[in-house]
A and B are shown apart, each in its own frame.
Chain A
Amino acid sequence: MKVYLGASGAINPFGNSVSGIFDAMKSGETGVAKFPNAFDLGKQEFLGIIDEKLLPKGEVSKIYRMLEGSIQQTLEGLQDTSILKSDRTRLIVCSTKGDIEELEKGNPSGANLSLLGEHIQRKLQMKNEPLVVSSACISGLLGIINGARMIQQNLADHVLVVGADLVTKFTLSGFISFYATATGVSKPYDADRDGINLGEAAASTVLSKDSSIFKKVEAEYLGGASANDANHISGPSRTGEGLYRSVKNAFADACLSAENVDYISAHGTATSFNDEMESIAFDRHGMSRIPLNSFKGYFGHTLGAAGLIETVIGIESLQKNTLLKSYGFEKQGTSKNINVLSANKEGSFNTMLKTASGFGGSNAAGIFKKA
């Protein structure tokens, strides 16, 4: 059964539409900015923070305003929004920490992740209980894969997948304690990369067995998989085993092989170990010549939202026949050769491999074809 994807929405520091975000990236801007004393942690940090003026008003917490802003775009991309109220429609919500600032304020129940799901379900009057995915930095991509499988197995006709994470003192202080944050705008895959930039984003998309529910079909989901490294909880495998297997199983699921891929939208956090690990996994698949980029230098690492917002921007890239340069990349900085885009590239690109990796040894890969 075919699974179509469309009606995508996104919010990040660049703006509140997928095409607007893509255009800003294409022009070579970065949405990552300097914060001299970020969250009063006494340290200069480079972060992708969303300006309030991009967000709708009303909701009390920023993460809910971000979600509402993204979902608004998704509603506009559907022919008929009543499909959301069907008992054949599911909701998947992806986040690592949700509204975690509530915990610091002494309100642990306000920080509970299931609230995000309930909130969206109620707002959109959806019938089925939401599935809230919290699997670190692969959550967003895993949410898409999970939703597509539900359609393939006839558990649902349509699945709304949403994801969001904030930049908070909670996450930033943790990454600083790991010495994992960059001294400037991050430089994925570059020889001089020195860490991540945290960013905040919300994104949303709809998967469906029925292409007619969309004003415009953006892509077809071809296959996906996840795999664990079984190696270390906070460091990637030296052999890239989990990522290697995710990609291998995604190819098997899609009945495709490496030569069918035109473009890799990779994870590329700009930490030394992660980017090195990815180069090993892609090299093991003989994918060293396939154009590849990371979006982290444009708007930071958006954690649980990353796999989702990067997928919808990657698909926009196929739609616009333009692969974006991997922001911050100048000279090869991984032991295995990978074809990191050092400039925007125009042409006809149809099939994208999207990958993500995260804490807990988690890895995921999804394959999408331009509609």
Chain B
Amino acid sequence: MRNLNLTSWSKVTTTGIWKDAKSVFHFNENENTSSNLKQAYTNLNLSYPKFFKMDGLCKIGILASELLFTDAVKEKYGDDEIALILSNSQSSLQSDADHVKQYAEGTASPAVFVYTLPNITIGEISIRHKLLGESNFYIFESFRSNQLLEQAALLMSTTPTKACLVGWLEYFGNTVEAVFFLLEKEGTNPATSQLLDKIKDTIY
């Protein structure tokens, strides 16, 4: 199996957004998550109105991937050479609960229901960055850097994949967390399980 390099990472939490350990945006602790995410959207100059239709899980996925898929990265690879492997433990729990509430009241709506699948985040990121490569969404009991690295290496060895975004993201109740890692063949920073765990666990 191939050794991969961690070339960049990003993080969205309840307190702010980081890229490669540098603060990108601090959330206002007096504001709720939803308005903080909106502020982050403005601050990052996204100009992508679809963002406002998305559920929270997709919003943090879009923000975290935006920092990694720079033009320089996207120009390096063909549209089927970047793979996406995302994971979490609670699937689309927030939208699931919203949908349950709606259908219990007899008002189920496609706008909520469509987000009751975790891989919709992969769809939204793929649309945003025109990625047509391999992808998969895994549910783990808790963060499994070893599994993410193994699956990324597997795609690099068996498919056209040359770069892979692997990540963990949760959005429900008070939990807001996205930690995304860009793995590439070229680089000088070997992606190890310990390194990914450390980035996930460090409070910046």
Q: Which residues of B contact A (CB under 8 A)?
A: 1, 79-80, 84, 89-91, 93, 96-97, 99-100, 103-104, 108-110, 113-114, 116-124, 126-127, 129-141, 144, 147, 150-151, 154-155, 157-160
Contacts and interface: CB of A to CB of B under 8 A. Distances in A.
A362 B108 contact: no
Contacts of A142: 136
A226 B99 contact: no
A225 B159 contact: yes
B114 A359 contact: yes
Nearest to A117: B139
Contacts of A132: 138-140
B166 to A, nearest CB: 14
B103 A178 contact: no
Given A226-B134, A253-B159, 11 more contacts: A108-B90, A108-B97, A114-B89, A134-B91, A173-B103, A225-B159, A230-B79, A232-B123, A234-B110, A359-B123, A360-B117
Given A227-B80, A228-B135, A103 B141 contact: no
Contacts of A293: none
A229 B108 contact: no
A228 B122 contact: yes
Nearest to B153: A153
Contacts of A227: 80, 132-134
B96 A231 contact: no
A361 B104 CA distance: 28
Interface in A212-263: 225-234, 241-242, 245, 249, 253
Given A177-B110, A359-B123, A114 B135 contact: no
B123 A361 contact: yes
26 contacts: A97-B116, A112-B90, A114-B141, A117-B139, A132-B139, A133-B137, A135-B136, A146-B154, A149-B155, A152-B158, A153-B157, A155-B154, A174-B99, A177-B113, A225-B134, A227-B134, A228-B123, A228-B126, A228-B132, A232-B127, A233-B127, A234-B114, A359-B120, A361-B126, A362-B123, A362-B135
Contacts of A169: 103
A362 B122 contact: yes
Nearest to B104: A104
Given A177-B110, A226-B134, A153 B1 contact: yes
Given A118-B141, A233-B114, A249-B160, A133 B136 contact: yes
Interface of A: 41, 96-97, 100, 103-104, 108, 111-114, 117-118, 129, 131-136, 142, 146, 149-150, 152-153, 155, 169-170, 173-178, 225-234, 241-242, 245, 249, 253, 359-362
Contact of A245 (B80, B108, B119, B135): B80
Contacts of A245: 80, 132
A149 B113 contact: no
Interchain residue pairs A-B with the least CB separation, the first 9: A360-B123, A174-B113, A173-B103, A132-B139, A177-B108, A228-B126, A173-B108, A113-B139, A360-B119
Contacts of B89: 112, 114
B120 A360 contact: yes
A126 to B, nearest CB: 15
B110 A361 contact: no
B65 to A, nearest CB: 13
B117 A136 contact: yes
